[in-house]
Amino acid sequence: MKDHNYYPLPGSDSSSDAKAALNNNEKEGTWAQEASNKYYNTQEDCVSNQGKVRLNKYALAGAILASTNSILLGYDIGVMSGAVIYITEDLNITQIQVELLVGCLNVFSLIGSIASGKTSDMIGRRYTIILAAATFLIGALLMGLAPSFPFLISGRVVAGIGVGYSLTIAPVYVAELSPTHTRGFLTSLPELFINVGILLGYISNYALSGLPSDLNWRLMLGLAAIPALAVALGVLAMPESPRWLVVKGRFEEARKVLIKTSENKGEAELRLKEISIAAAASSPSSSGQGVWKELLVTPSKAVLRILIAAIGVNFFMQASGNDAVIYYSPEVFREAGIQSEKQLFGVTIIMGVVKTTFVFVSALFLDRFGRRPMLLLGSSGMAVSMFLLGLGCTFLNYSDEKPAWAITLCVVAVCAALSFFSIGLGPITWVYSSEIFPMRLRAQGSSVAISVNRLMSGIVSMTFLSISEAITFGGTFVVLAGVSVIATIFFYFFLPETKGKSLEEIEALFEDEVN
């Protein structure tokens, strides 16, 4: 069916007439120009001279519902840092088993990350988010009821698959739902909720630490089933991604979602037009056939540059050591001279509050200052903080007295490193890797990038203690400082600015970069 405002897509019966339909609509009336005028007037209204933006409430609600799935990963990261202490006591596991327990969730999240692209293209973004929450729910129950170490590992594996699904699809969904002028803020919400989850995990550690060691860690891990169930039910109220609806030929549904997530009908019509043109211009691979070949086997120069940028930012997000620092922060502080478990968990709560605060600050300013400046500030700040942390740990390692100033330096340096991560790599990784892929490659491309993210997180988490034992904590943090320096150089040369551009314009941006 050809409607005055809607366009057939490649793969449909009338796909050969897609571009002609677009041209005919332009000639038959002036609706597109009127929509454009209304859209740009809306943009001027939405962004004031002071750089303030007006959030669309419907888009904000959808982004929040999708992003709450990220609480599950954050809670696991935060709670495992304390739970592993009691798991070690209760199950009498070795250091290698500790690393395996901590890191296996990230490694097996690769399965969810890789599968999410195909799954979300088949059943939609919304139902994939529900699948992610349901999978994590099963994993949380298995962990909470685990009678032995192998049973506990199996629960981590299942939860990891759910995490992989969640990390890949939530930013993609939010990016596709969001208006251009607030996409940076809304797409950074998953990272904000990860940090909320981390803080909740730290609080759970502190609150349950007084229980017997054969009970407290099971409650710590099993409580994750509650938010997982809430997320799975809450997502049912979300709209589907308008871009996915267009690809499936469900134009009327897409138009209704766009009207609700735009400031007026003119903006909605123009957004629909941009999405439809991009879909009509796409090859048949947009229906799912040949995407992997175009992405990995015979990519164009523009697609290759996009792939390098997405993989690079995800690689450095985890190679910087953020997850490992969070997972093993009690071990680091214990090495620094803080022995009381209550004090250890109290310090981690401070870390969680600081980290959550700064990721919220980053989200607020992301659409004003842009992606590149925030990334460069964050990675360079991490380099300095990690270097100071390395110096502090090295001094304490060779000091018998453990002076208070050195312990304070370590605590402040850890908080500073996590804060700079929350300003830059934390939120912007999800924003950037979800918005730079063209529509036909977005789901699979994001799954490749997030797979690298999860693989690096697993490698770092499963080797951090062993490396630290070989070269000390101080030496490890100095190495991580060097990684942050390399990351800063990579971001400067390989990541163009995407602020204020529609998803359809960003592909052209990367094409211009290679010409």
For the whole model, what pTM was predicted?
Answer: 0.72
**Rounded Cα distance, 421 and 375, in Å:** 9
Q: Please, what is the angle between helix 341-369 and helix 70-91, to 10°?
A: 160
* Structural domain boundaries, residue 198: 56-238
Count of domains observed in the chain: 2
One domain, residues 371 and 475: yes
One domain, residues 139 and 220: yes
One domain, residues 396 and 332: yes
Amino acid found at 198: I
Report long-range pairs for 492-495 (Cβ below 8 Å, ≥24 apart). 492/372, 492/376, 494/305, 494/308, 494/309, 494/312, 495/309, 495/312, 495/313, 495/371, 495/372, 495/375, 495/432
- Of 238, 271, 302, the one marking the end of a domain is 238
pLDDT the model gives residue 344? 79
- Of 238, 268, 296, the one marking the end of a domain is 238
The answer as to whether 322 is a domain residue is yes
One domain, residues 234 and 319: no
The answer as to whether 18 is a domain residue is no
| CATH code, domain carrying 397 | 1.20.1250.20
The answer as to whether 136 is a domain residue is yes
The answer as to whether 273 is a domain residue is no
**Rounded Cα distance, 280 and 11, in Å:** 9
CA distances from 379 to 26, 204, 423 (A): 46, 30, 9
DSSP per-residue letters across 42-54 = HHHHHB-TT--B-
One domain, residues 473 and 364: yes
pLDDT the model gives residue 513? 61
The answer as to whether 266 is a domain residue is no
pLDDT the model gives residue 486? 96
One domain, residues 230 and 372: no
DSSP per-residue letters across 133-154 = HHHHHHHHHHHHT--SHHHHHH
Contact yes or no for 450/167 (Cβ under 8 A): yes
One domain, residues 318 and 405: yes
One domain, residues 331 and 449: yes
The answer as to whether 475 is a domain residue is yes
Q: If residue 127 lies in a helix (H) or strand (E), which one and from where to where?
A: helix 125-144
One domain, residues 233 and 321: no
The answer as to whether 390 is a domain residue is yes
- Give the helix ranges, DSSP H, for 242-293: 242-247, 251-260, 265-281, 291-292
> In this structure, what token pair is assigned to residue 70?
């990220």
The answer as to whether 2 is a domain residue is no
One domain, residues 231 and 352: no
Tens place of pLDDT for every residue, the chain, 515 residues? 333 333 333 333 333 333 443 444 444 333 344 444 444 444 444 444 444 557 788 888 888 888 887 888 888 888 888 888 899 989 998 988 988 998 888 888 888 888 887 888 889 888 998 898 899 899 999 999 999 999 999 999 999 999 888 888 888 888 888 887 888 888 888 888 888 888 898 899 888 888 888 888 999 999 888 888 888 888 888 888 888 898 888 889 999 999 988 888 888 888 888 888 877 765 444 445 577 888 888 888 888 999 999 999 999 999 998 878 887 877 877 777 776 777 778 888 888 888 888 988 888 888 888 889 999 999 999 999 999 999 998 888 887 777 888 888 988 998 899 899 999 998 899 888 888 888 778 878 888 898 898 889 889 888 888 899 899 989 999 999 999 999 999 999 999 888 878 777 787 777 766 55
Q: What is the CA radius of gyration of the chain?
A: 23
pLDDT the model gives residue 484? 95
DSSP per-residue letters across 180-203 = GGGHHHHHTHHHHHHHHHHHHHHH
C-alpha 186 chain-centroid distance: 12
One domain, residues 180 and 321: no
One domain, residues 214 and 314: no
